[in-house]
Each structure stands twice: as structure tokens, then as C-alpha cells.
Amino acid sequence: MIEIKGISKKYDDIEALSDVSFGMPEGQVFGLVGTNGAGKSTLLRCICGVCKPDAGEILVDGEPVYENPVAKQKIFFISDDQYYFPGSTPEDMMNYYASMYPASFSKERFEKLMGALSLDKKRRIQTYSKGMKKQLSILLGISSGCKYILCDETFDGLDPVVRQAIKRLFIHDMDEYGITPVIASHNLRELEDICEFVGLLHKGGVILSKDLGDMKLEIFKVQVVFKDQASLDAVRANCKVIAEEHRGSLITLTIRGLRTEVETVITSQLPIFYEVLPLTLEEIFISETEVLGYDFAEITK
Amino acid sequence: MTSQKSQNKITLLGLMREDLSHRKWMVVLSSFVQLLFGPVAALLVFSNMEAQSFYYYGDEMILNKQKAIQYAVEEMTQSYLPAMMIIIAIVGAMIVGIGGYRHLFNRRMTDMVNSVPVTRGKQFDSIYYNNWLIWFVPQLVSTIITTFIMLARAASYGYAPAILKSAFFVLIGSAFCFACMMHLVILAVVLSGTIFNALLNVAFLGFDLLLAYGLVVVFCQDCFYTFVDLPISLSQICWVSAPLSGGYLGAIIAAGVSVDSPAGFAAEFGSVSAFYLVLVATIIVAIVNLILAYSLYIKRKSEESESGVSNKTYRLCIRCINSVLCGLTVAELFTELFYLNEKAQTFWQIVFSAVFCVIAFGLLDMIHTRSFKGFFSHWKQMIAIALITEAILVTFIYDLTGFDKRIISESSIETAWVCTSIYGMGSDGSGYAKDPENEGFLVEKYMLGDYDENDMSFEIPADVAYDIITAQRAVWKNETFYIYNPITRSSELLPESEIDYPAEYFDLNVQRRNGWEFRREYPVYDREVMEEIIALPGFMESSYPFRTGELGCPESIRISGVNGDKEVPAEMVEAVFEASVEDFKENYSLDYIQMRDFQYVYCLECQYYISNPRGGENSYWVYTMNMYIPEEDARTAGLLDELGFDELRHSPEDDYYYDYYDEYYEYF
């Protein structure tokens, strides 16, 4: 398990992370979502030991990670723009990472996966397309045999077929080798398909970190038509309404709380019509960040 | 758990192998250069020398082949190899120092390197050791091959010990130089986020102190008329300037001087022990540079890559120091490049030093922050630094420290020495003579005009030293001569009639009772004080360089007069100089030694004839000095007349008036 305990990180005067604490359970795909500049990449860079937090600590399976090769042996960092040596081929990079992860890197697996994705290991990487470079970085990460694979915007630039293949690969390796992919992305629909656990970052802080299933049980959307304003006021008074939208008499409410309790409150007002809808991860994200003032509704006014 | 750890552990050797695989081009370059300038050059030198010996000597080939081999060995061991290997070491240190830690200039590469399970310390070590390997292994191979080539050609002539000794010292010397330079480069690289900043930092760390020293010397010389020298020498200041001291000391070691002729570097450092002191200090500086580089590397944040210079303290220091240096350098250029009168010069010095200080400050800020907006980002500091620059400049120009006005008390003087500034009656130039013990090689020797000032110092009583310090001085200021009274601190214009050569310059060196040394040069105007000094028993012998015995053995001297030139026979050369010295002793008086504006009967430009022992084609004349023989030097003039030089003689009735100082100023 990766434990993040009150870490903070500043770049000069810019606060990238502020007292961030949460845990990443092993054996699950962890999705790291956040607004632009929320500190996702910084957090990943701290977890893999590239950056040293100004405060707090990060433990990987109980061991601090910074400058600790034992802990770092368990982590492979796939950056959003992976570096490859000038003029190198995938084979060169394979040899490099094989020497850096001598105990766990599997050259056979790498070559097999390269073949499966029709990538030429003798071809210079600089001639690869952006998507092919992404594929290569993922294959290097997978072949490293590390327990934790940190992926920063990894699915960007991959075509849908490869994206699905990579997802299947992650799922397979989770089952087979017990890896824990940590995926930072803006593409919430993508994450929703694969993630079981989600951490939500905004302005350097964690808004929430939960099991995606639990998260969806605690926040949902209700489309309702009331007879009068008093009924709406009663719902507002008894439920934690995060967002509200009116379209004629149809009111859409985003409510945080247990579904049974919310339904009890709504039905007690005898609505003309009501329907409880599950929220997508994207909707949860928007709702949660709107509450914190991350809203650009004014842009069109 | 332990076995798991050790299984996962990446060995230093493995890391080095991996690093080396990405720096193959450096290995190839290093090998190519070392082999080209080592064995290949040795083959060429030996072949050429042998070919020349055949060409020049024909039937005497065997005898002269030995001579050719001797020259080839000496050329290789004493000159070529020490110099070339030091140059290669310096360039090599720059390339491997920057190339090895290149990931610090690229954020993505830094991320990759720092994300793998290796400590930063181990990363640093693996690159550092590889830097040595990349340079040293080819150097070692090259030296071994070169040594074998030289031994194969020259061992039978008895040069094996010299060749082996040279190989050893070349390796040691160039390794020393390489270490000094590489440590400085690594420190500069670790402090930088871009290659451009790294190169700038190499220059700043390596040469700033030397530039500051040079500026202080130049400003003292320009602004203080009593200034002689700083208490710290240039060699000593090089201690902390790794590129220079490393290269300089490395070359000395490579040449094996320390073993053979300590006197060779004693001339540079004062004494053999001073040389070793400089050597030790340089090694300490190199080690400190490495320790600093290592600690900064370990603590270096990944985000510092591509960010110019991130270390704020270092950035501030470099910005401020270099802005001041830039301002002062520009101010000094005004004195050197433009012929302005003193007031205009002072004005423009002040204006342009401020302008260039501000420009340098802003530019450095831009370079360090990698932003055009950075120019005025520290405008308060910029103004403060410009003001400091002006304050330094004005302190020098107007002598606000009272450097020239300082008077020490007579009671504080423990011992004092003086030497005059008139050296040997107008003799001039540096002396090169054939060394009789090393036929065929030119060695520098002291001649009439090239003396050791320490040998010429004459101890004087404390009261005479105090008289010199407090005597009236003739000071050139604002294009006018003034008489300055140091007691009353008052100045008055020198009368027009006395403008020509009003002062005698006395170089005074005082050891004070508190242990401090005080050394100044006083332009004494007071005739009584001058006569008091030159009348001191033994002063003349101590203060004037009569060194006819050290003239070496020139084959002949050519004397160029106004009306032509002629050679003095070898056997008469010494006699001419001895006569000149005798004349000086006979005529010795204040009027005589101050006599400059007089008519000469002989104006002699002396040259030694140096013959090439390998043949006549490369024989040549070496300029040594000028001699001016006035009528008062009857003995010298008479001897030259006797030798048949009377056709070169000119009489006081001739229109030609040879004024040494007038000629000097016209020439420049």
C-alpha cells in the first residue's frame, strides 16, 4: 500500500500540493483525477521519488520512498512524456530498464508484448509516433515487474483499440501478478471503466479519496417535479443539495447522502414525479469541484 | 528480506556499465585524440628529426642521428607531451564533466534518472568514475604506446630513464590537471539547469577571482602612485582558480620540473616550498569543489533542470560580483582604449561603469531566470550594486582610503630596504643568452637590465626610511606635475623649469614592529633626501646591477648605432660592459644618475648572435638591450673608438639628440 501522509510541495511561490493525505490500496486500479494544475503529476513524481516533498512523508509498503532503492524497486513511473535516450531503440531502453530493475524486469515479456502490439524493437524510437512512444513506455512499465505502476496521462494519444488492450493488460497483471496501477488522467470516462479507487485533487489538496462504488452510493442525481415551492424547500432543508438545475417544472438535484435517506425525504413531499439517477465519475468530479468554486459558468455571460 | 534486497541491488559497476554504454562517443573521441596526439605525434616527430639530420649532415648521419634523437626526445618529453596532454586533460574534463551529468539539463531525463531505484549518490559516483575512465584509460594506453615508440627509437642512445620519467610525470600532471578542471566543471554543472548556464558558471567560478585580482592591481597601478605590488602574488591567487592553477601546476608536474630543477619554478613561486604550498592548496580547492558538487547533487531538486540557475544564494552572489567586475572592467577599458584627458576620463569611467554594471546585472538575471522579464526583476539590488561599483571606482580614483598619503611613524619601523628605480644606466630588455652548459638551448638569464629586485635591495636606517616617506614628492596628476608635501598634505604646482625628471623613485620595503610589511614606491623630489640615500656606503653596489660576469658566452654582439651597425668581437664583449660599469662607478653622483636629457656619443642596440648547432640556416640575432653612452663615460667611449666603432660615433654638435624618455613616449 502507498500511504501519503500530509505531504506538501512548493515550486518557488507556487503551492503544488498542500497537506495531502490518503492511501492507495494495493491490488486495485487507483485513479488520480483533478483539475488542471491540481498537482497530480507532482504527486506521482513525489510517490516515485523524483521529487522530495517539502513536508510529510510517503510510504511504500511501510518504507519511505525518497532515496530508498528498496522501495523504489517496487515503483515504475511512466511520465506523460517519457524520456528515451537520443537515437535509442526499444531494445536499448529495455536493456536500460533491465539493468535498473535487475530482479524483476522480464525481457521475454517485453519482447512478447512488443510483438503483440506490432512494435519493432530495432527501430529508432525517434521515428515512432506519439502513440507508439506511449505504448512503449507502458510496455516498459509492465515488463519492469514492479508492483506499482504510476501512469501520468498514459492513455492520451492511444487509439481506442490499443487503449482497450492496455486496460486488459492492466487487469490481467493485477490478477496474475498483483500489480497496482495508479493512473492520473483527465479522461474520467476512461478511468471510470477501469478504476476501483479514486482520489480527487483540486488546487493541491485532496477533495476525496474513496472506492468508486462507494462514492457513487453517496452522491447521486434526482430528477423531480414538486407540487409547490415548499416541497423543494423542505428537501433543501433536509438533504445536502450540492447542485440544482431548473428546466420548467423539472428540477435536477445533485444530492450527497445515503440513497434510502434521500428517497425518504423526497417521497415524504409527495412529488408528482421523481427518479434517482447514478452519477458518472465526470459528474461527481464537476459537482465536487463546483462546490469549491471551480466553475466557469460566467465565461459565456 | 536481506537476500531480496541484495538481489534487487544495482551494483556500482552495473551502473557504470550502463552509463558508459550511453557515452560511447566520448570514449571514441578520447581514444582518437589521445592516440593522435600521443603515439602518432611521436612517430612524426622522430621521423622528421631523423630526416632532417640526414638532410643536414649527409656523411655524418650516424653521429647526427644521435643528435636528432636527442632533440626529438627533448622536444617530446620537455615540451610537447607535457603541454599537449594538459590541453587534452582540460578539454576532456570539460566534455566529460558536462556530458556525464547532462541529464541535469533535461527535465524529462532527470525524471527518468531519478525515478529508477538508484540513490543519487550512487548515480553521481558512477558518472564520476566513468569520467575518469573515459579520459584516463585512453591516456594510459596512449602514454604506454608513446613511451614504447620513444624507447624503441631512443633507448639505445641512453634516453630510457628520461623517457620513462617523463611518461610518469605526464600521467601524474595531466591527472592532476584533469581532476582540478573536472571538479570545477561538475560543480558548475550541478549549479546550473542549462548547458549555457553551466558554461557561464565554469567561467565565473574559474576566473572571477583572477579577474578581480587583476582589476585591483590595475586600478592600484593607475590610481596610486606609491603602489608597487599586492602582498599576494598572481601565483598565489591562482590557488582558488582551478582552471588556471590546475593547468599551470599540472604542466609543471608533467614536465617533471619538481624533480630536476626546483629553481625553475622557484622563480615563479618564490621558493620550492611555496610551490608545494600552492600545489597542496590547489588540491584542497579541487577536493572542496568535488565535495560541494556531490552534496549539491544529492540535494538537487529535479525541478531545477531547465531552470537556468536555481540556487538563489549562488545566483545572487554571481550576479552581484560579476556586475561589479563588469562595471570596473569597462571603467578600466576607458583608461586603456581612449586617449581622454583626466577629467573627461573620470567622468566617462563613472558613467559607463554604472551603465555596464546595470546591463550585466540585468542580463545575468535574465540568463539565470531564463526570462526577458527578469532584467529588472531585482531592480533594488541592481541600483545598490551600481552604487557599490561607483563607490569602489571613486575610492580608487580619488584615493578615498588615503593610500598615497599614508605616513607610518618612524618608531614603528624595525628594518627597511630600498632600491632605486634607475637600472644600470639605461640598459633595457630581457636577457637571453646561450647557456654554456646546455649547448643549443636558450635559457633566460639575468642581464644588465633584467635583474632580481630582491638582490638589489639595500638596507637603510629607519630614519632614512622615514625621510623617504615624508620627503616632498613630485606627483603627476591631471596632466600636471605637483609637489606634494606628505607632512602638511599640501600640493603646489611644480615650476615649469623643473618639470623634466623632477623625482627619483625609491622602492621602499619596511618591516614594521607589529610584523606587517609595508612596501611603497616614492617619487622623492627632495634633493637632500636623495643625496642622503645615494651617499649611504654600499648603496651603489647594492642598488645597481653590475652583472658583467653573467653575460654568458655570446658569439658576438652587434651594435647598431645611429650611423649604422657593426659587430663587437666576442673577446671584447665583456670588456665593453666592464668599461661601462667602471664609468658608472666613477661618475656616480646624483646629477649623473639623474642625467637623462644628455647627448650620447654612442646609442647601442645590443644583440647576441645565436647559432643553431644543427646548422647555419636557423642562426639568428637575439635582441638584448640598449646602451646609451654619454661623453662622461670616457672609458667605454674610448674603448669603442679603439675597436673601430668611431664611424658610428656622433658628436654633441650633431643635430641628433637622443633622449631616452622622449623616444620612449614617442614610440608608444
| A209, containing H or E segment | strand A205-211
Instruction: Note whether A51 contacts B18, CB cutoff 8 Å.
Output: no
Q: Is A260 at the interface with chain B, CB within 8 A?
A: no
Within 8 A of B303 by CB-CB distance, chain A residues are 11, 51
C-alpha cell at B607: 644583440
C-beta separation of B470 from B407 below 8 A: yes
Within 8 A of A125 by CB-CB distance, chain B residues are none
Region of poorest pLDDT, from B87-91, B144-148, B655-659:
B655-659
Instruction: Note whether B17 contacts A11, CB cutoff 8 Å.
Output: no
Instruction: Note whether B116 contacts A83, CB cutoff 8 Å.
Output: no
Q: Is A293 at the interface with chain B, CB within 8 A?
A: no
Instruction: Give the residue from A54, A75, A99, A125 with the most B CB atoms within 10 Å of its CB, the best one to mutate.
Output: A99
* CB nearest B115 (choices: A50, A81, A102): A50
Quote the minimal CA–CA distance from B302 to chain A in Å.
Answer: 6
**In chain B, whose CA is at the least distance from the CA of A86?**
B22
Count of other CB atoms within 10 angstroms of residue B589: 12
**CA gap A297, A299 in Å, rounded:** 5
C-beta separation of B443 from B493 below 8 A: no
Within 8 A of B25 by CB-CB distance, chain A residues are none
Within 8 A of A95 by CB-CB distance, chain B residues are 21
Of the candidates A282, A233, A278, A229, the one whose C-alpha atom is nearest the C-alpha of residue A255 is: A278
Q: What is the DSSP letter of A248?
A: T
Kindly state the average pLDDT of the residues B480-487.
88
Within 8 A of B15 by CB-CB distance, chain A residues are 99
Q: How confident is the model at residue B448 (pLDDT cuts 50, 70, 90)?
A: very low
Read off the pLDDT of residues B139-176 as tens digits, 9 standing for 90 and up.
999 999 999 999 998 888 888 988 998 899 899 989 99
Q: At what angle do helices B195-223 and B81-100 cross, to 10 degrees?
A: 130
Instruction: Note whether B109 contacts A70, CB cutoff 8 Å.
Output: no
C-alpha cell at B197: 548556464
**CA gap B541, B569 in Å, rounded:** 28
C-beta separation of A138 from A78 below 8 A: yes
Instruction: Give the residue from B112, B297, B311 with the most A CB atoms within 10 Å of its CB, the best one to mutate.
Output: B112
Q: Is A133 at the interface with chain B, CB within 8 A?
A: no
**In chain B, whose CA is at the least distance from the CA of A72?**
B117
pLDDT at B565 over 80: no
Residues pairing with B485 in the sheet = B490
**In chain A, whose CA is at the least distance from the CA of B13?**
A99
C-alpha dist (Å) from residue A281 to A48, B206, B509 = 26, 58, 88
Quote the minimal CA–CA distance from A7 to chain B in Å.
Answer: 16
Class of domain A2-203: alpha beta
Region of poorest pLDDT, from B24-28, B332-336, B539-543:
B539-543
Residues pairing with A243 in the sheet = A254
pLDDT at B513 over 50: yes
pLDDT score recorded for residue B1: 38
Query: Domain ranges in chain A?
Result: 2-203, 215-300
Region of poorest pLDDT, from B319-333, B392-406, B612-626:
B612-626
Within 13 Å and on the Cβ side, how many CA atoms surround A257? Answer: 20
Share of chain B above pLDDT 70, in %: 74
Read off the pLDDT of residues B117-135 as tens digits, 9 standing for 90 and up.
999 999 999 999 999 999 9
Q: Is A51 at the interface with chain B, CB within 8 A?
A: yes
B173 vs B445: which has the higher pLDDT: B173
Quote the minimal CA–CA distance from B298 to chain A in Å.
Answer: 9
| A223, containing H or E segment | strand A219-225
Within 8 A of B22 by CB-CB distance, chain A residues are 85
Q: Is A10 at the interface with chain B, CB within 8 A?
A: no
Quote the minimal CA–CA distance from B310 to chain A in Å.
Answer: 10
Instruction: Note whether B116 contacts A100, CB cutoff 8 Å.
Output: yes
Instruction: Note whether A69 contacts B117, CB cutoff 8 Å.
Output: yes
Instruction: Note whether B7 contacts A103, CB cutoff 8 Å.
Output: yes
Quote the minimal CA–CA distance from B115 to chain A in Å.
Answer: 5
Within 8 A of A103 by CB-CB distance, chain B residues are 4, 7-8
Region of poorest pLDDT, from A6-15, B188-197, B506-515, B530-539:
B530-539
Q: Is A103 at the interface with chain B, CB within 8 A?
A: yes
Question: Residue B617 contacts by C-beta under 8 Å, 6 or more apart in sequence?
Answer: none
Quote the minimal CA–CA distance from B96 to chain A in Å.
Answer: 17
Instruction: Note whether A48 contacts B14, CB cutoff 8 Å.
Output: no
- Counting one residue from chain A and one from chain B, the pairs whose CB atoms sit within 8 A come to 75
Q: How confident is the model at residue B199 (pLDDT cuts 50, 70, 90)?
A: very high
In sequence order, what E strands does B362-485 have? 413-420, 432-434, 442-444, 458-460, 473-477, 480-485
Q: What is the DSSP letter of A102?
A: T
Instruction: Note whether A103 contacts B8, CB cutoff 8 Å.
Output: yes
3-class secondary structure for B510-573? EEECCCCEEEEEEEECCHHHHHHHHCCCCHHHHHCCCCHHHCCCCCCEEEEECCEEEEECHHHH
Residue B486: what residue type? P
**CA gap B429, B455 in Å, rounded:** 18
Kindly state the average pLDDT of the residues B644-666.
53
By CB neighbour count within 10 A (0-12 exposed, 13-18 middle, 19+ buried), where does B363 fall?
Answer: middle
C-alpha cell at B55: 638532410
| B59, containing H or E segment | none
Q: What residue spans of B398-445 are helical by DSSP H?
A: none
pLDDT score recorded for residue A105: 92
Query: Domain ranges in chain B?
Result: 8-224+235-304, 312-397, 410-543, 554-667
**In chain A, whose CA is at the least distance from the CA of B114?**
A50
What is the full per-residue pLDDT of chain A (301 aa) written as tens digits? 889 898 999 888 888 888 888 888 888 888 888 878 888 889 999 999 999 999 999 999 989 999 899 999 999 999 888 999 999 999 999 999 999 998 889 999 999 999 998 898 889 999 999 899 999 999 999 999 899 999 998 888 888 888 889 888 988 988 888 899 999 887 777 777 788 888 888 777 777 777 777 777 778 888 889 888 888 888 888 888 877 888 888 888 888 888 888 888 888 888 888 888 877 777 777 777 766 666 655 655 5
Quote the minimal CA–CA distance from B286 to chain A in Å.
Answer: 27
Read off the pLDDT of residues B256-308 as tens digits, 9 standing for 90 and up.
764 445 555 555 666 677 777 778 888 888 999 999 999 999 999 888 888 88
Region of poorest pLDDT, from A200-204, B301-305, B462-466, B653-657:
B653-657
Instruction: Note whether B117 contacts A70, CB cutoff 8 Å.
Output: yes
Instruction: Give the residue from A50, A97, A126 with the most B CB atoms within 10 Å of its CB, the best one to mutate.
Output: A50
**In chain A, whose CA is at the least distance from the CA of B311?**
A12
Q: What is the DSSP letter of B495?
A: P
Quote the minimal CA–CA distance from B5 to chain A in Å.
Answer: 7
By CB neighbour count within 10 A (0-12 exposed, 13-18 middle, 19+ buried), where does B560 fall?
Answer: middle
Instruction: Note whether B8 contacts A83, CB cutoff 8 Å.
Output: no
* CB nearest B302 (choices: A45, A71, A102): A45
Instruction: Note whether B116 contacts A79, CB cutoff 8 Å.
Output: no
Within 8 A of A70 by CB-CB distance, chain B residues are 5, 8, 117
Within 8 A of B8 by CB-CB distance, chain A residues are 69-70, 73, 101-104
Quote the minimal CA–CA distance from B2 to chain A in Å.
Answer: 11
**In chain B, whose CA is at the least distance from the CA of A67?**
B119
Instruction: Note whether B117 contacts A100, CB cutoff 8 Å.
Output: yes
pLDDT at B238 over 70: no
Instruction: Note whether B116 contacts A85, CB cutoff 8 Å.
Output: no
Tell me the fold of A215-300: Alpha-Beta Plaits (3.30.70)
Chain B residues near any Cβ of chain A (below 8 Å):
4-5, 7-10, 14-15, 17-18, 21-22, 106, 108-112, 114-120, 301-303
pLDDT score recorded for residue B358: 95
* CB nearest B119 (choices: A48, A52, A67): A67
- In this structure, the dihedral spanned by the alpha carbons of residues A185, A108, A179 and B15, taken in order and rounded to 10 degrees, is -80
Can you give the pTM of this predicted structure?
0.78
Phi–psi pair at B376, nearest 5 degrees: -105, 20
